[in-house]
Structure 1
Amino acid sequence: MVKIYTNHLFITPENRKEVFPLLFDLCYTDNSILHTLYEFVPTIEACDVAIVPVNLRRFGTRNDLNQFISEAQKKHKIVWLYSGGDFGLTLDSAVHVFRNGGFHSKLPSTTFILPSFINDPFQNKDQGVVAIPKIALPQIGFVGHAANSITKQLKELIGYCKNNLDIILNREQADFQRFYPSSTKRYHFLKQLSKSEKVATNFILRKNYSAGAKTVQDKAIARQEFFDNIAANPYTFCMRGAGNFSVRFYETLAMGRIPVVVNTDIRLPLDDQIDWSKHCIMVSEENMIQELVAFHTDIEPKDFIQMQIDNRNLWLNFLEREAYFSTIYGIFKNKINEV
């Protein structure tokens, strides 16, 4: 087992949503397989890994963080940090940061991307994927927020400025990012695809998130429409939001479909363990249609079917919550044994 130390004083009802995801499972669930892989120890001296218990924005000041890191490193311990939210924080390579997104070219190798931990879209975990056969044109779907109004652009700009102001005033520990009007860009890319005679599209563009649903029933209807669209199309268009990652990417994999990802210098999870070229199509903003068509033209029909099946298995075996931290266990158990 990997022995972990953390400060349990921060694991409170008020911090429930901010707890490092692994610690959340270990502290709030009883039947997780992770209990057989990780165990708590009462002191830093006894641990293999020292974990900052909550999202950095809830842990205190930068001095508090530095003190925790320094104490662990003096005792030659591995340090894990959780930097949640859209932006996340880049630290030096002496610690291991777990975060949802970031820019691959700027991240050290010790940064681990957390998948978006979604619920399984299938009611039965053992449910097999009904793969869609290859047809002449690449058929791509999308249901979601994509707007081109000035009001929406201003709203995104205001949100961006607020986030950076919080960083400047030390209310948020996160990286600065350039402004990226994701909903507007998404709208233009989807329009390009819709107009192309080389692609078959099945898009439902919404002006608001979750179709503006207010009631539980309306939200459930909107959600079902979303997953029905993924199921009906072999490809799904995936692109970053405010942060440089896509939740839809993981939902597409879990459904056994193929994500078409606009590459905005993203880093995908476990990129030294997973050959992502076998599971998704990375397209550039400039040549998106040509690259999608080229991939679809080249792939053999049997490989097209297999890719969908493999994507569901990839999510189950590496990206589902327990599976991810089981993989992380294997990576760090090897590191610990090498010391």
Structure 2
Amino acid sequence: MLNLFTDKTFLTEKYRRDVFPLLFDLYFLNSEILADHYLLVDDVLKSDFIILPIDYAKFLKFKLALKKLQKLSKIHNKPIWIYTAGDYGFTNYIRNSYTFRLGGFKSKHTQNTFILPSFINDPYLDYLKSGFSTVKKGNAPTIGFVGHAQDGLKKYISESINHLKYKFKKAFGLIIADFQSFYPSSIKRKKYLSVLQKSRLLKTNFILRNNYRDGVKNDIERHQSTKEFYNNMFKNAYTFCSRGVGNFSVRFYETLAVGRIPILLDTDCRLPLEGLIDWSEHCVILVESSNVSFEQQILNFHNSKSEESFEAIQKANRMLWETHLRRDMFFLKIHDLFINKKMNHA
């Protein structure tokens, strides 16, 4: 059991959207699974960790509340857990702290940074009613993709303007986020997908959109668009995944949840639980700087698998999502990591 101390005055409906994901499950959802492993305590002396209740960028505005928790951490030598949300996230320099974030850049992360998976609902419950099954290997890799991928001058100007808006907001303190250089994600995505489409050794089933979620306007359109997205993923053994505005891919986790094999473009990404998961066993990680073409990197992975191992990977990916990447299961793994750390220092 890990005991957590926080400022409970922020665990209200007003801050619900910004709450540390673990606290959300414990406090708002009353997760029985997590309640067996984590306990919110009112006495900081009985705690193992102090946890900032909401997104760090939002909590910075409450200077007295933040200062109080930092002071308690220093006086009682209690490590602080920090959640930084959004596409960019924000690097903190608080001593004796651990950061939980979606993205950022692996080369800049410390060992005290934990990458959060994108927490999604089970696609088999809402969109794929047929239930999980595997795709046969086949001679050629079948690669799917449905999503925003567009190039051209108009799109470049649009993405440039969006980046300038981000820089303006950051410069004037309207958002608190790490700096990111300009990365026109939809243009880059179109470029890489076009390369794969030209290959005679790959089978590609791409549906390219000019807008995010095809510009849906209501719940019915959103459901239909998402269903088409997951059906494409379900029918193809592989799905191409690359970063968006932030340096992470939600599609990567959606692919694993469906039980398919992500093809992830490595843009200096750190993946969740790298010490526990051998990600090379679960996905194709494309290295742009390699002398080996994307086509050949995919073929090398595909051709190295037997029929049986190919289907076993799909089963393992579905299981990995269920046991490590769902929100409650992810924080069970975090619990175990810190319990082991605590025992090793006892």
TM-score by length of 1: 0.94
2:104 alignment counterpart: 102
- 1:262–1:78 CA distance, 2 compared to 1 (3 A): same
Report deviation, 1:103.
0.7
Question: Which residue, 150, 169, 174 being the options, matches 2:177?
Answer: 174
Letter in 2 for 1:29: L
| In the alignment, structure 1 residue 243 sits paired with structure 2 residue 249 | no
Q: Matches of residues 39-50 of structure 1 in structure 2 within 5 Å?
A: 39-50=39-50
Question: Which residue, 284, 288, 294 being the options, matches 1:288?
Answer: 294
- 1:107–1:301 CA distance, 2 compared to 1 (3 A): same
| In the alignment, structure 1 residue 276 sits paired with structure 2 residue 282 | no
- 1:108–1:62 CA distance, 2 compared to 1 (3 A): farther
TM-score by length of 2: 0.93
| In the alignment, structure 1 residue 256 sits paired with structure 2 residue 230 | no
Q: Matches of residues 1-339 of structure 1 in structure 2 within 5 Å?
A: 1-61=1-61, 65=66, 68-92=69-93, 94-123=96-125, 129-285=132-288, 287-337=293-343, 338-339=345-346
Instruction: Name the CA distance, whole Å, in 2 between partners of 1:291 and 1:31.
Output: 42
- 1:32–1:206 CA distance, 2 compared to 1 (3 A): farther
Letter in 1 for 2:108: K
Letter in 1 for 2:151: N
Instruction: Name the CA distance, whole Å, in 2 between partners of 1:22 and 1:31.
Output: 10
Letter in 1 for 2:115: I
Instruction: Name the CA distance, whole Å, in 2 between partners of 1:172 and 1:250.
Output: 27
SS in 2 for 1:96: strand
Report deviation, 1:163.
2.2
Contact 2:124–2:132 (8 Å) recurs in 1: no
Report deviation, 1:31.
4.2
- 1:74–1:163 CA distance, 2 compared to 1 (3 A): farther
Instruction: Name the CA distance, whole Å, in 2 between partners of 1:313 and 1:102.
Output: 26
CA RMSD of aligned residues (A): 1.9
Instruction: Name the CA distance, whole Å, in 1 between partners of 2:179 and 2:211.
Output: 26
Instruction: Name the CA distance, whole Å, in 1 between partners of 2:67 and 2:110.
Output: 18
Kindly, what percent of the aligned residue pairs are identical? 42
- 1:227–1:44 CA distance, 2 compared to 1 (3 A): same
Report deviation, 1:154.
2.4
Give the stretch that moved more between structures: 225-234 or 169-178: 169-178
Instruction: Name the CA distance, whole Å, in 1 between partners of 2:123 and 2:158.
Output: 31
Q: Structure 1: which 5+ residue stretches go unaligned? A: none
Give the stretch that moved more between structures: 284-293 or 326-335: 284-293
Q: Structure 2: which 5+ residue stretches go unaligned? A: none
Contact 1:56–1:173 (8 Å) recurs in 2: no
Structure 1 segments, 4+ long, off by >6 Å, are none
Contact 1:238–1:246 (8 Å) recurs in 2: yes
Instruction: Name the CA distance, whole Å, in 2 between partners of 1:44 and 1:246.
Output: 37
- 1:68–1:159 CA distance, 2 compared to 1 (3 A): farther
Q: Name the count of aligned residue pairs.
A: 338
